Chain A
Amino acid sequence: MLKKRLIFTLLYNQGQFMLSRNFRLQKVGDLKWLQTNYNFSHISYSIDELIVLDVTRGERNTEDFCSALKTLTEGCFVPIAAGGGVNTVGHARALLHSGADKVVVNTALYEDDGFIGELASEFGQQCIVASMDIKRAPDGSYQAWAECGSRCMEGSAKHWIEANAGNAVGEIYLNSIDCDGTGQGYDLGLLDQLPPNMSKPVILAGGVGNAIHLAAGFADPRVDAAATAHLFNFVGDGLKQARQSLIADGVVLPIWDVQLLEHHLRLDDSQGQDD
């Protein structure tokens, strides 16, 4: 049986990694800072998947992003998805050649121009993650927003989720704009916007502040993967401990030996230990 997934999402903006709160960005530090202060490669030993998004508002520099992606993914032994403004096959290919296994598409999902089909026929639909930013309207209904949460799409979120799920994508990433970065927990109401016969994996994102919030996501059978983008809430060993407590509580996550990774497994060392 397939295991559930714990996903970490990194937000990139012109060479810097960011915290986002309700889609307003705050600078955290660059790649070097991330390694020094958060020992990022060790964080990656406690997740099942990494998502890296270029959330730069306005013009993005794909070359710089790809080079950051390459540095990040060296020494990261889980599947990696990357995206941010992807709307050409060439852009997707550049990410896939920089360490990504999957491409995250958001705004282009709403254009009726055959791009998703084109991506799928080039790389396979398992390669495409449909990322949707959802916000609750004052009347309690949900709507989908494009362009980093700046353009509200006409029609209900339900309509768009169903349309995207029926497209040639591999999975759906649902992010709550309202809960994003608040650390107050997921908006589980997003899951009620899913079609009843949803056949594609669902990643839930937005709002996680601690392991209890992750557990609440995993407790819903409609959730295949729980994501968090909150670096500060999982400082130091935070993510490692969250993972351990989730596994202890019966969440069916993959099991591996984090210590082996931390001690650096090497071919020329029969003990599997080094420096």
Chain B
Amino acid sequence: MGASIAVIDYGMGNIWSVLSALRYLGCSPTVSGDPKEIAGADVLLLPGVGSFRKAMATLQQKSLDKAILDAVQNRGSKILGICLGMQLMGSRGSEDGNTIGLGLIPNPVDRFTAQEAGSSKIPHIGFDVVRSSADSSLFRGIPEAADFYFVHSYRMLADGLSGKKATCKCGVDFLAAYEQDNIFATQFHPEKSQSNGLMLLKNFLAQ
């Protein structure tokens, strides 16, 4: 595989474990916060933990938002957003006030409402069951109900999305994973989800 793999480093979250998982799979990813390198990479991983507003501001400040969109929309590079990384790919986020997202997935990101969560605890932390469809390429070889590790208080809903969706239930059904053409995203952490997560990363890279 000659594809160049870049893990986008913008100072938010545990990049170490994403790298560890990619190395385990036999890849040699680069870590970069340089928009030129990002715009030129074939495969992008956008991890992240923390506040939507702060993350988006950092991406813009470093011109990484344009670099990501250039790579994905003009060059056809594939991207996997993880946790906050997935949320940033949404249309907007309401964490710390409304902020426009990258818009690669047309749904907004909002906090679980009390009504949605019901008796479920928020933040939603731990291994939970993700239901995927048989035709998903991300979940190839993974059971249609499989456990993945989550840690989040905000969620995207699956309503109206045209790509392939996987869902999880935390009071309400929310979007746990998404794939459409070269755009991939997971609300859970594949790099923290034992063989299920490593299989998913492998599937993403093997696309």
Interface residues of A (CB under 8 A from B): 1-3, 5, 45, 48, 70, 73-80, 96-101, 123-126, 170-171, 199-201, 224, 254-258, 260-261, 264-268, 272
Interface pair B127/A101, CB less than 8 Å apart: no
Interface residues of B (CB under 8 A from A): 1, 14, 16-17, 20-21, 23-27, 49-50, 120-121, 123-129, 141, 146-147, 149, 151, 153, 169, 189, 191-199, 202, 205-206
Nearest to B153 among chain A residues (CB) is A126
Interface pair B127/A2, CB less than 8 Å apart: yes
Interface hub of B121, B146, B192, B194 (most chain A Cβ within 10 A): B194
Which residue of the partner chain, among B128, B153, B199, contacts A3 with CB atoms under 8 Å? B128
Whether A255 contacts B151 in the complex (CB less than 8 A), given A5-B126, A98-B16, comes out as no
Nearest to B120 among chain A residues (CB) is A2
Q: List 19 A-B contacts (CB under 8 A).
A: A2-B121, A2-B127, A3-B126, A3-B129, A73-B17, A76-B20, A77-B193, A77-B197, A78-B194, A98-B16, A99-B14, A123-B50, A126-B151, A126-B153, A170-B125, A224-B126, A256-B147, A260-B195, A267-B206
Write the nearest CB–CB distance from B125 to chain A, whole angstroms.
6
Which residue of the partner chain, among A1, A126, A264, contacts B125 with CB atoms under 8 Å? A126
Which residue of the partner chain, among B26, B126, B189, B195, contacts A257 with CB atoms under 8 Å? B195
Nearest to A96 among chain B residues (CB) is B14
Complexed CA–CA distance, A100 and B196 (Å):
20
Nearest to A101 among chain B residues (CB) is B14
Whether A256 contacts B194 in the complex (CB less than 8 A), given A3-B126, A267-B27, comes out as yes
Interface pair B151/A73, CB less than 8 Å apart: no
Chain A residues, CB < 8 A from B127: 2-3, 5, 48, 254
